[in-house]
Amino acid sequence: MNCTQALKKLQDGTLDACLSALYGAALPAARPRYQNAVRAFADLYGAEREILLLSVPGRSELSGNHTDHNRGLAIAAAISADIIAVVSKNTGTCVRLKSEGFAGDEVDLSAYTAPIPEKFASSEALIAGVAQGFLRAGFAAGGFDAYTTSDVPKGSGLSSSAAFEIMVAHIQNVLYNERRVDSVQLAKIAKYAENEFFGKPCGLLDQLATVTGGIIAIDFADAEDPVIEKLDFDMNAAGFELCIVNTGGNHADLTPDYAAVPAEMHAVAKELGATVLREASEEALIARLAELREKLGDRALLRALHFFEENKRVLCQKTALREGDLDAFFAHVIASGRSSFQYLQNVYSPAHPQQQGLSLALFVAEQFVKTHGGAFRVHGGGFAGTIQLFCPAARCDELKARMDGIFGEGACTVLRVRGIGATVIG
């Protein structure tokens, strides 16, 4: 279909079934969003171009806080906030991609074939990195023109960067590989682009959750071939929405705090004769606490103990979701958050103890959950940023008003767990 035909289908409801599966009751807001994107593409590249409409969700970590880098276990979910793209194949090796609110990128894939340090942390680096990831894995990659728009909040721990990577990979898969590249391989390609071309170390959790959709459990025992298990539990049907509260805070000077977590866990693993904690045992650590605290300090041991206990919680949460036991699942969500605060110690930076927005948000969330039910925990990397709260759907407006009143207008984002990952509309 061309742009004119796409606009007609969006207007007359032809695509409503597809859109409803992604956005549910938010369909009335989704339809004009797609229409505006199609019009923007037409203005940039021409209305008669044959186009596809694509969507890739953001993601939220539900359990397994700071476990993936030591080959642990985690649970994550795709969310209703997403990146959408209007895309058309071209005949060359150039990718032209314009994201709403940003300058357009034009990347010649035949020239940009290796990492360029000067272009680290740029969108064009991700575009080139994804293409090279496809080629080095034995797949095809080529040029396309695209317009994208995103409502995945940046800096909220919802992985806007992973959603962008997966969108570019999804486009290459659809246009040049007949969708033969499976979800795990797409995630690996996106991770390669982020690690090598973007210049940022990351695991696979974010990419796997965005490409797969729904709630998934991930076992990172083999970092190159993680085991993914889809957990078929409908959080929306159970009457709960997933809310993210952004408390603000500056992430710019927190790099040492983030880096210290895996570094300290790896140091404990090394003392236990392992490379990562997954290869060691909690029992061996406990037996040597007196000795190792002198060598490594107490915080490193506490963070390692968090890792072992968090893995146990993930297993319990998998069972709870399989059995439909939401109360048990929520109890472990709260336990995960408490462990992050007490043992992992990533709720505020020790360098800035006066700045404790996450701690305050967690207190407000706990009072809310005591009255109305649900669960809460720190979200993502921690130290600043966001908390996560499962809120009864009927109480979301009340929660949003409360959190926005403390942390600023728009601080609380009400989301749905989305059952569909990267997809083509229609």
Beta 52-63 vs 94-99: how paired, if at all?
unpaired
Helix 298-322 / helix 255-271 crossing angle, nearest 10 deg: 90
381: Cβ contacts below 8 Å, ≥ 6 apart = 66, 157, 258, 346
Q: Which of 216, 222, 172 is nearest to 78 (CA)?
A: 216
Report which residue type is found at 393.
A
Q: Rounded to an integer, what distance in angstroms lies between the CA atom of residue 16 and that of residue 154?
A: 28
Q: Which two tokens stand for residue 278?
A: 């997954």
What dihedral do alpha carbons 235, 241, 247, 250 form, nearest 10°? 50
pLDDT for the residue 385: 86
pLDDT for the residue 308: 98
Helix 160-176 / helix 205-212 crossing angle, nearest 10 deg: 60
Q: Give bridge partners of residue 150 from the DSSP assignment.
A: 83
* pTM (2 d.p.): 0.89
pLDDT for the residue 223: 82
- 67 phi and psi, to 5 degrees? -115, -25
Q: Which two tokens stand for residue 114?
A: 């290796």
pLDDT for the residue 176: 98
Q: Rounded to an integer, what distance in angstroms lies between the CA atom of residue 422 and that of residue 207?
A: 10
Q: pLDDT tens per residue, the chain (426 residues)? A: 999 999 999 999 999 999 999 998 889 999 999 999 999 999 999 999 999 999 999 999 999 999 999 999 999 999 989 999 999 999 999 999 999 999 999 999 999 999 999 999 899 999 999 999 999 999 999 999 999 999 887 766 666 888 999 999 999 999 999 999 999 999 999 999 999 999 887 777 889 989 999 999 999 999 888 899 999 999 989 999 999 999 987 655 787 898 899 999 999 999 999 999 999 999 999 999 999 999 999 999 999 999 999 999 999 999 999 999 999 999 999 999 999 999 999 999 998 899 999 999 999 999 999 999 999 999 888 898 899 999 999 999 999 999 999 999 999 999 989 999 999 998
Q: Which long-range contacts (CB under 8 A, 24 or more apart) does 38-44 make?
A: 38/3, 38/6, 38/7, 38/10, 38/86, 39/3, 39/7, 40/86, 40/98, 40/100, 40/147, 40/149, 41/3, 41/86, 41/88, 41/145, 41/146, 41/147, 42/3, 44/98, 44/104, 44/145, 44/147
138: Cβ contacts below 8 Å, ≥ 6 apart = none
Q: Which of 277, 333, 346, 330 is nearest to 305 (CA)?
A: 277
Q: Which two tokens stand for residue 398?
A: 């009340």
pLDDT for the residue 212: 92
Q: Rounded to an integer, what distance in angstroms lies between the CA atom of residue 415 and that of residue 235?
A: 11
Q: Rounded to an integer, what distance in angstroms lies between the CA atom of residue 207 and that of residue 211?
A: 6
Place of tokens 């909040």: 153
